Amino acid sequence: MTVAGVAASPARARWERVTATPLVVLGVLFIVAYSVVILMPATSGPLWSTLVVTLVAAWAVFIVDVLVRIVLTPTGGRWSFVWHHPVDVLSALIPLFRALRVLELFRQVPYLRRRTGAAVRTNIIVFALSYSIVFVYFVALATLAAERDAPGATITSFGEAIWWAIVTIATVGYGDTYPITIPGRIYAVLLMAGGIAIVGTASATIISLINERIGSARRGHDEGPPADGTV
């Protein structure tokens, strides 16, 4: 395992192996707790206390995890680790980014670990789609939390929030709903940047597929039919 050419220490590698599954479980719990807190703000009693404890515990664990991994990284590679693990580092500041950590489980699928052209494209498509869904969902939740109680807000329900997020990330932007708060507009900028990245990835994948098909057709044409006339 390397980070920008700097080998990870055995201690950090062991830490990552041991904590991978617990962090995924905690990420799933965080997704559920965060969703309930935003979508059911009137919740109270023991359930509310449990949700709050889960969110606080997740935040603390995410911070500890990132700090430990940085400390266990060789001194010369610590800044490289921070630079090349933006989601992990941001999760220490903004817990909703840790939800993306769950998607790393897809990397364990044997087919997606292959290096053929088809496997690479499948990998890109699966991860792009998965990250897009989680990204849109959580930004919609965060935007709803920031907007719904603001005077004059047009995003006051999850339906409106998810509609706004989808048309924004698709670069359509009808303008029927839009954020009016500063946090909401920051999320809008993130969505627009994400939309450009997703469209670019999809375009590159399609072009790669077309080029491969054209190349295969040309090779087949150049080789011609077998000498014995069989097909």
What is the full per-residue pLDDT of the chain (231 aa) written as tens digits? Answer: 444 444 567 888 888 888 877 887 888 888 889 899 899 887 778 888 899 899 898 888 888 988 998 888 888 788 888 888 887 788 777 766 767 766 665 565 555 555 555 656 666 677 777 777 888 898 899 899 999 989 999 999 999 999 999 888 877 777 788 899 999 998 888 888 877 776 666 666 667 667 766 766 666 656 555 555 554
- Alpha carbons 24 and 130: distance in angstroms, whole number: 15
- Backbone region of residue 109 per phi and psi (left: phi > 0; alpha: psi in -120 to 50; beta: other values): beta
- Helix (H) or strand (E) segment spanning residue 165: helix 158-169
E strand segments, the chain: 2-3, 6-7
Q: Are 9 and 1 in contact (CB under 8 A)?
A: no
Cβ atoms of 125 and 205 closer than 8 Å: yes
The answer to whether 8 touches 2, Cβ cutoff 8 Å, is yes
| Distance of alpha carbon 133 from alpha carbon 2, whole angstroms | 29
